[in-house]
């Protein structure tokens, strides 16, 4: 009888251990932390990969390179030998490429540029070659739809073209706008493509005095592809009094959202170029909350 009781007890303990292990694995898969190579001062440099490992993130958002007045990005990743080096180095350091960023459109006009399609095509082609599923496309200052609502028609029509290109390639383009959540959700509906989603940025609602968690809930799980989980520069995430990260996690948990949380800014104003300190601190803080 005692032996039977012991067997049952051992079985229950093993069951608890297994479920506990599965719970940890699920938690790790649900939220992953990445960093932006550009903001780590390593724009499309292979040194961003070991640096990402050093600061404690699991992934990198690689930049497509400068744009300026070129027909497309200054993108070295379409060079087979360079791309192979990046892929091998990422494998060596166990770093994933969570997304490719078209940050050149922060300053250039997506809605006014005549030859915008080539740049999008090059990004999607690079994504396919590197097996990256998400591209980041900011609307930038020249396509600020709050300041320039008259550009909405142009933005929608162009995003419809981009959405078709992305859908055909089996990838998703995440957009960042200056709109509030209700307006951005309406924009996504007008575009009408599952391949165009919101790349949410915490700083957008925060700097405009809106409720960050409410905005997340309005957009909803299905409309958010990735998140830039940082605020404007000035203070580290752990010292940011207007950003309640625990509440953010509770909100995302309830929404059932999962994916990459990407560190962008939130650098210490006293040491903005101290990459290891800024990104290391922010990564450690995010892991303490989400992992």
pLDDT tens digits along 63-113: 999 999 899 999 999 999 999 999 999 999 999 999 999 999 999 999 999
Helices (H), ranges, the chain: 2-30, 48-55, 80-93, 116-130, 152-169, 181-191, 203-207, 212-219, 245-255, 275-290
- What tens digit of pLDDT does each residue of 129-160 get? 999 999 999 999 999 999 999 999 999 999 99
> How many of the other CB atoms lie within 10 Å of CB of 253?
13
By C-alpha distance, which of 282, 283, 110, 265 is closest to 203? 265
Domains of the chain, with CATH numbers?
29-290 (3.20.20.150)
Q: Which pLDDT score, from 0 to 100, does residue 72 have?
A: 96
Instruction: Show the tokens assigned to 286.
Output: 């995010």
The helix/strand count (H/E) of the chain reads as 10, 8
Q: Indicate the DSSP class of residue 268.
A: B
The three-class DSSP label of residue 236 is coil
Q: pTM of this prediction?
A: 0.89
* Alpha-carbon gap, residue 62 to 43, rounded angstroms: 7
Spatial CA neighbour of 39 closest among 108, 119, 130, 103: 103
Q: How far apart are CA 233 and CA 251, in angstroms?
A: 24
Distance, first Cα to last Cα, the chain: 43
Q: Give CA angle at 109 (221, 212), nearest 5°.
A: 30
d(CA 218, CA 213): 9
- On whether the CB atoms of residues 110 and 139 are closer than 8 A, the answer is yes
pLDDT of residue 24: 45
Separation CA 9–CA 30 (nearest Å): 31
Query: What is residue 22's predicted lDDT score, i.e. its pLDDT?
Result: 42
pLDDT at residue 9, rounded to an integer: 53
Task: Give the distance from CA 173 to its chain's centroid.
Answer: 11
Stretches where the chain sits below pLDDT 70 are 1-29
């Amino acid at each position: 009888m005692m032996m039977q009781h012991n067997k049952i007890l051992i079985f229950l303990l093993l069951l608890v251990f297994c479920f506990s292990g599965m719970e940890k694995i699920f938690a790790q898969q649900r939220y992953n932390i990445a960093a932006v190579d550009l903001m780590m001062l390593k724009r499309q440099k292979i040194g961003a990969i070991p640096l990402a490992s050093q600061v404690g993130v699991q992934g990198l958002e690689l930049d497509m390179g400068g744009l300026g007045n070129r027909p497309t990005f200054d993108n070295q990743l379409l060079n087979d030998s360079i791309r192979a080096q990046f892929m091998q180095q990422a494998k060596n350091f166990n770093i994933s490429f969570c997304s490719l960023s078209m940050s050149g459109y922060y300053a250039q006009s997506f809605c006014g540029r005549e030859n915008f399609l080539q740049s999008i095509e090059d990004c999607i082609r690079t994504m396919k070659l590197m097996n990256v599923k998400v591209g980041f496309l900011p609307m930038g200052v020249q396509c600020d739809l709050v300041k320039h609502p008259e550009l909405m028609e142009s933005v929608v029509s162009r995003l419809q073209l981009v959405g078709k290109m992305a859908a055909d390639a089996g990838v998703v383009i995440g957009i960042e706008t200056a709109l509030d959540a209700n307006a951005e959700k309406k924009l996504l509906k007008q575009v009408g493509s599952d391949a165009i989603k919101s790349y949410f940025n915490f700083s957008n609602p925060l700097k405009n005095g809106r409720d960050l968690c409410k905005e997340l809930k309005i957009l909803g799980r299905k409309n958010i592809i990735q998140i830039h989980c940082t605020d404007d520069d000035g203070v580290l995430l752990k010292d940011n009094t207007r950003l309640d990260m625990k509440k953010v996690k509770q909100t995302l948990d309830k929404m059932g959202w999962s994916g990459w949380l990407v560190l962008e800014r939130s650098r210490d104003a006293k040491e903005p170029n101290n990459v290891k300190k800024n990104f290391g601190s922010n990564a450690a803080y995010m892991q303490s909350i989400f992992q």
